[in-house]
Chains A and B, each alone.
Chain A
């Protein structure tokens, strides 16, 4: 069994140092890895990222993160990623990482993702350059995620998890105003997951949404925004590698 802990939208900064550390210190007892689904800071500054790094440094379980829109607010996203990487966090953007958890190869592919809306009700690459660039950026994120998931499959991963900040499905937005759905996620992310395959999708961003959803292709989706799960992290148990029966 693989125990996946996950949380997003922790929005830390100076003043909140130590807020999550007591809970995170229990991860070694209940989880094999921790996923951070973006919006780790408020304004995306290096100073705030240092607070996040301090919360997750030396937890004893691997930590894998994507950034969120807040982490881009000060145009210092590279510095934010650097601070996290410096304490051993795997920061993903169109990339993946592979962990060996008790003999099971667990792959995590991640992208911040972006918005644009959901199937049948989405923006498209049409019209003004700004509109085309908007949707093209979402497509680039989705293509990066699909590519990373495919690489994990080709690398022989037993279990693959898709980690994003923006939502891949509208299911987990229930509770948010319908009018803002196009700003909360994009079907292109779900399509990437369904085409490349994943065992679980984890995202944040939608503070008023709900935890459970599923892509059209059957990938289970969990919204782990901290206001949604109302705890320091959620834990999901997934089956590990099934050993072939011993020969006679």
Chain B
């Protein structure tokens, strides 16, 4: 068995690539989940989301993986918090 087959190293390599390449994305979580891998988190733009999923597809090729990556809403708040 090579490191390519071991899920935990594949996950670590994906996280390392997300952080080090142009994306510089440290806020996405990648974890073994069920029989496969789950990629999840909130990112700042649809383009960023697409890049995360592209990297995931490359690094997790051959594994069963799912994603739940959302894009943060940049709208103004609809409420405030009172701190007495």
- Please list the residues of chain A having a beta carbon within 8 angstroms of any beta carbon in chain B: 3, 9-12, 15-16, 19-20, 23, 26, 30, 42-43, 70, 73, 177, 200, 207-208, 220, 225-227, 229-239
Q: Is B76 part of the contact surface with A, judged by Cβ < 8 Å?
A: yes
Stretch at the interface among B2-10, B38-46, B52-60: B38-46
Are A73 and B24 in contact (CB-based, < 8 A)? Answer: yes
Are A231 and B76 in contact (CB-based, < 8 A)? Answer: yes
Query: Taking the nearest CB of chain B, how far is it from the CB of A134, in angstroms?
Result: 18
Assuming the contacts A3-B80, A19-B74, A230-B73, asked whether A11 and B44 have C-beta atoms less than 8 A apart, the reply is yes
Q: How many residue pairs between the two chains, A and B, have CB atoms under 8 Å in the bound complex?
A: 83
- Please list the residues of chain B having a beta carbon within 8 angstroms of any beta carbon in chain A: 22-24, 26-27, 29, 41-45, 47, 72-84
Are B44 and A232 in contact (CB-based, < 8 A)? Answer: no
Assuming the contacts A231-B73, A234-B77, asked whether A15 and B27 have C-beta atoms less than 8 A apart, the reply is no
Q: Which of A73, A200, A225, A233 contacts B76 (CB 8 A)?
A: A233
Query: What separation, in Å, do the CA atoms of A103 and B26 have in the docked complex?
Result: 41
Q: Which of A42, A227, A235 contacts B81 (CB 8 A)?
A: A235
Are A231 and B41 in contact (CB-based, < 8 A)? Answer: no
Query: Taking the nearest CB of chain A, how far is it from the CB of B19, in angstroms?
Result: 10
Are A230 and B72 in contact (CB-based, < 8 A)? Answer: yes
